[in-house]
Chains A and B, each alone.
Chain A
């Protein structure tokens, strides 16, 4: 399942997508949980009884601002969450 957390508003589309098929059997030891400087990821058991990672509720409506520090307007370094997720389950839409 592709789970898209985030939103689209007047200023743009801000989604972090998690490919749960790559996430169920995580080969990175859930490195995203500590990789994100804001601690935005958490594990949960989804509706089909698989343990996967999701974005915490309190961050889902605020991604443009919460992720801003990892995304300077120029000279952007690689994102820590995507670097941590070696199975490649995490993508950002912006």
Chain B
């Protein structure tokens, strides 16, 4: 049986196709990520889905069920069901890490903590929606100010052992603070660490509201930022944060898995 999961994020559309035909664990058939560019939400969902199907050599008729998640999930007209990011994330993580208890999800526009019951079900969550300060876009804006890519920004942060507190809590105000740090000749790596420490401490405060239990898994775009992962470990005071192989696709995968379960 083939099922699909679609995650309509604020920046990208992610599609995952899975095959649960044989006995045993479902296998991932195809992952596909698309930047919608000028496309409207519903057109972007259609295109991403059809592209993924084409790449897997499938047609829409071959798919038994489609579930959608993400901020723009209402625009996925062809989805059989729409589920929250929390449920999708928790389910997707359980595929990689069955022992996960706390999920930290930091995307472009949102940071949140999810507590799971150990079977892939979300039981509690606390988030920071619609404020750029507690999410990836804060780091992104600051890396632009330093003229570094987000990856370079994270790597630079790892080279710093300084702790500079950032006063500004708002991305817009923080930009001026970063500019004045640049003007006062503060090394880029120290600024990068200050920024990532700030995001990590905000995310961590949110996660503490649901409790921090092992295993802790980080999902969302910030997984690729090594400096952030380090800052997060320090803020949460834990040795290990598990990182899934395809962090962007965790929610879409969770959708596909839930779609498969629903069909059983």
A–B proximity contact (CB within 8 A)? yes
A62→B127 CA distance, assembly (Å): 15
- Report the minimum CB–CB distance from B110 to chain A (whole Å): 9
Q: How large is the interface on B (under 10, 10 to 19, 20 to 34, 35 or more residues)?
A: 20 to 34
Q: Are B127 and A69 in contact (CB under 8 A)?
A: no
Q: Does A71 contact B (CB under 8 A)?
A: yes
Which single member of A9, A62, A68 contacts B206 (CB below 8 Å)? A68
Which single member of B127, B129, B132, B205 contacts A65 (CB below 8 Å)? B205
Q: Are B131 and A10 in contact (CB under 8 A)?
A: yes
Chain A positions 1 through 25: 1 when the CB is less than 8 Å from some CB of chain B, otherwise 0:
0000000011100000000000000
- Report the minimum CB–CB distance from A83 to chain B (whole Å): 19
Q: Are A64 and B208 in contact (CB under 8 A)?
A: no
How many residue pairs, one in A and one in B, have C-beta atoms under 8 Å apart?
Answer: 42
A9→B174 CA distance, assembly (Å): 15
- Report the minimum CB–CB distance from B255 to chain A (whole Å): 24
Nearest-CB residue, chain B, relative to A7: B169
By the criterion of a CB under 8 Å from any partner CB, how many residues of chain A are at the interface? 14
The interface residues of chain A, by DSSP majority, are classed as loop
- Report the minimum CB–CB distance from B137 to chain A (whole Å): 11
Which single member of B169, B170, B208 contacts A68 (CB below 8 Å)? B208
| Contact (A61, B125) CB under 8 Å given A11-B134, A71-B209 | no
11 A-B pairs whose Cβ atoms sit less than 8 Å apart in the complex: A9-B131, A9-B170, A10-B129, A10-B130, A64-B128, A66-B205, A68-B208, A69-B205, A72-B209, A72-B211, A73-B124
Q: B: which residues have CB within 8 A of A?
A: 115, 124-134, 169-170, 201-202, 205-206, 208-211
